Amino acid sequence: MHKTIAIACAVLALLPLAAAAVTVTTPQGPQEVFARGDLVDAVALLRLAGVEVAFAPAAGSYSAAAGEHEVQFTPGGSLAVVDGRLTPLPGPLRLLDGHTVCAQATAAVLLAPFGWTVRAAGSGFELAHAAAGDAITVTAVRAPAGTTLVVRGSAQRPQVVAAAGSVLLQFAKPVTLAQPIAPDAELLGGELRGNALTLRLARGSEVVNTYPLDNPPRFIIQLGAAAAAAPIATPRSGPLVVLDPGHGGDDQGAKGPGSELEKDITLAVARAVAAKLQSEGVNARLTRDGDDTVALTERTAIANRLQATVFVSIHANASPARGAHGAETYYMSADASDQQAAQSAARENASASPDTVQLILWDLAHVANLNNSARLARDIQERLNELQGIKDRGIRQAPFVVLTGATMPAALVEVGFLSNAEEAARLAQPDTQQQIAGAIADAIVAYLHEPTPTPGTTPAPAASPAGTPTP
Ligand SMILES: [Zn+2]
């Protein structure tokens, strides 16, 4: 008997590539998933729950995202970043035969933010919605101005990702389809996977606008002809730049003496950068294209979900020193390079509370990106210096929450000081906004054309005169 077990073990040890599988019961039926002993494929479980999982080779980490939630984890790690917060895992994630595996308790922590549970069931596992969810219906309503798709039965405001021929609605909390989607001339069909509803659209039809309505709660997707598309085009291939107009909605950001609002200036500049990039054949998307409130952590989550090549957050500064003027470019660091950098970060972080430990750990996990982020920031600052006739201003580092968790090179630009009356008046002018946007777009294009340094090399030190080199 013991001998048989010993032989069996020896055979298993000699066949490391023999994949073991376990049955996972899901709402869609049983599925086979890689497992070994108590360890089960964490990425496969997340995907079965309809969560989008992407691996960022530069960062060496996974980003799992659905709705407003994002979980980042690293093979070999015992920590995850759950919705921007560092979270200890019950057990480590390990790499086995190319699969990222963990114990059931760890998988449960990774699935929980998305409203899913996993428990042992028989010799396998059961994957289930934590809650039954909103029962939704989708109908196409024809009107002279065009067709609208109406999602009824949920007060949730889903994240919308429009692509050629389809639109993805990612709900934060579980939803179920109350009835199958009836095909229409413009709505060909749809399917629900986890909390993600994909609607297939007729050729030539695309999303023009989306918005929620109340009493009863509905979510409206306005369709239009592809020719009448929104100013921001759908990404095709090649690099994708995600531009983040700072603040918006309830959060107006800094305010100038002439009532210039940061949230308006950042949107105007970001739109102009996107237009300039697209005129040069570079795909660009905005984290908001209206006066919307978007959480800081959601902004990088959008970039991660779209697997953006670079992320640039656009802001305008304010300082108690009235004479402060000119643009400044920052990249992520746990430590501010100088006191003014620290003040800028504190102001921009006002709508979130940074956890220093979290920032330090995240910073260290992204050393490869820091190098490229520094290069991106330097390219932007050099062109803004040229534009504004400033000789010696370098890039700075500071712990900006909006840059935490970006799995791609990321920078934050303060285009000027709204606390300076003259500069505030200039920044509110479309001409100035176009010039600044042109400089930022040129810098991004230059960055994309530079050869990428080998990941893992030492990050370039900040060029700031008061710069603290990254540890
Ligand atoms: Zn700001």
Å from CA of 410 to ligand 1 middle: 15
CB atoms within 10 A of CB 163: 14
Helix (H) or strand (E) run with residue 470 in it = none
Residue 155, CA atoms < 13 Å, CB-side half-sphere = 3
59 with 365: CB under 8 angstroms? yes
Q: How many residues does the chain have?
A: 471
Spacing, Cα 265 to ligand 1 middle (Å) = 10
**Ligand 1 geometric centre to CA of 460 (Å):** 26
Residue 144 to residues 49, 141, 252, Cα–Cα distance (Å): 39, 10, 36
Q: Residue 326 Cα, ligand 1 centroid: separation in angstroms?
A: 15
Rounded to the nearest angstrom, the distance between the alpha carbon of 317 and the centre of ligand 1 is: 6
> Rounded to the nearest whole angstrom, what is the distance from the C-alpha of residue 231 to the centroid of ligand 1?
24
Report the separation in Å between the CA atom of 149 and the middle of ligand 1, taken as the mean of its atom positions: 35
CB atoms within 10 A of CB 10: 10
pTM over 0.75: no
Round to whole Å and give the CA distance between 331 and 398.
Answer: 7
Distance (Å) from CA 228 to ligand 1 centroid: 32
Ligand 1: centre distance to CA 246 (Å): 5
Query: Phi first, then psi: what are they for 377, rounded to 5°?
Result: -60, -40
Q: Which domains does the chain have, with CATH numbers?
A: 19-129 (3.30.457.10), 134-228 (2.60.40), 240-449 (3.40.630.40)
The three-state DSSP-derived secondary structure of 307-318 is CCCEEEEEEEEC
Residue 375 Cα to ligand 1 middle (Å): 22
Cα 333 to averaged position of ligand 1 atoms, centre (Å):
17
Cα 316 to ligand 1 centroid, rounded to whole Å: 5
Per-residue CA distances from 182 to 141, 185, 198, 455 (Å): 12, 10, 14, 49
Q: What string of pLDDT tens digits covers the 471 residues of the chain?
A: 454 444 444 444 444 444 589 999 988 889 999 999 899 999 999 999 999 999 887 777 899 998 778 898 988 888 888 877 777 788 889 999 999 999 999 999 999 888 888 988 888 999 988 766 788 989 888 766 678 899 998 988 888 877 778 888 888 888 888 777 888 888 988 888 778 898 998 887 878 777 788 777 889 888 876 543 333 434 447 899 999 999 999 899 999 999 999 999 999 999 999 999 999 999 999 999 999 888 777 788 788 778 889 999 999 999 888 888 999 999 877 667 788 888 888 788 776 644 544 554 455 555 557 788 899 999 999 999 999 988 778 888 877 877 876 778 899 999 999 999 999 999 999 999 999 999 999 999 999 998 765 444 444 443 333 333 333
Ligand 1 centroid, distance to 443 Cα (angstroms): 21
